[in-house]
């Protein structure tokens, strides 16, 4: 599965411990990131020959569907062309924003942990599905995710990404609550 890497990436020759950290623009993701840096990331001197490869993941929503006119609209081709251009432009703007957010976290991590391998991957789709597929494809040894602290009713109505990851990943999932930091 080819990934959309926000920074150039070359697989390290050394053995790595892959730790995925799910990110978005929320304070909960910020908390999970900070917890990961403080509790999981090892400098290369502490690693006993196994480097930490921190994979920062961000899932953005797919672009909106194109509106295709129906009937015998004489401007149909112009509208479709215009919609496709707008669709492509919106998709690229979303991709750039995702890459910029990932880079911001990556640079912070690189400043704090010398010798840690950092990879940034931008994904598109349902966060639950995309994060599970990415973690499995990367052979992640653990996944770190923040939580919004939803109640049972909210979880039942809209679903919880962290709850889904707990039930669908084989690797350990660390769910970081805001008050844990």
Q: Which residue range forms the structural domain that includes residue 33? A: 4-180
Output the tens digit of pLDDT for each of the chain's 181 residues: 579 898 888 888 888 899 999 999 989 999 999 999 988 887 766 667 788 899 999 999 887 765 655 555 555 555 555 677 778 888 899 999 999 999 999 999 988 866 788 999 999 999 999 999 999 999 999 999 998 755 555 544 445 888 899 999 999 999 998 764 4
Phi, psi angles (nearest 5°) of residue 86: -65, -45
In this prediction the pTM is 0.84
Going by DSSP bridges, is the β-strand pair 117-124/4-5 parallel, antiparallel, or unpaired?
A: antiparallel
- Which CATH number characterizes residue 11's domain? 3.40.50.620
Number of independent structural domains in the chain: 1
């Amino acid at each position: 599965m080819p990934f959309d890497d926000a920074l150039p990436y070359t697989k390290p020759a050394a053995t790595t411990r892959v730790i995925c950290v799910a990110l978005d623009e929320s304070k909960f993701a910020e908390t999970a990131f900070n917890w990961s840096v403080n509790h999981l990331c090892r400098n290369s001197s502490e690693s006993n020959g196994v480097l930490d490869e921190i994979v920062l993941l961000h899932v953005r929503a797919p672009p909106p569907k194109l509106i295709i006119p129906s009937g015998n609209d004489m401007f149909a081709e112009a509208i479709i062309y215009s919609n496709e251009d707008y669709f492509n432009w919106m998709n690229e703007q979303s991709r750039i924003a995702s890459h910029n957010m990932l880079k911001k976290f990556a640079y912070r991590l690189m400043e704090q942990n010398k010798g840690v391998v950092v990879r940034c991957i931008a994904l598109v789709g349902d966060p639950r599905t995309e994060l599970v597929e990415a973690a499995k494809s990367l052979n992640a040894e653990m996944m770190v995710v923040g939580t919004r602290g939803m109640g049972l009713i909210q979880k039942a109505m809209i679903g919880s990404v962290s709850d889904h990851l707990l039930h669908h990943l084989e690797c350990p999932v660390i769910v970081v609550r805001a008050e844990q930091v």
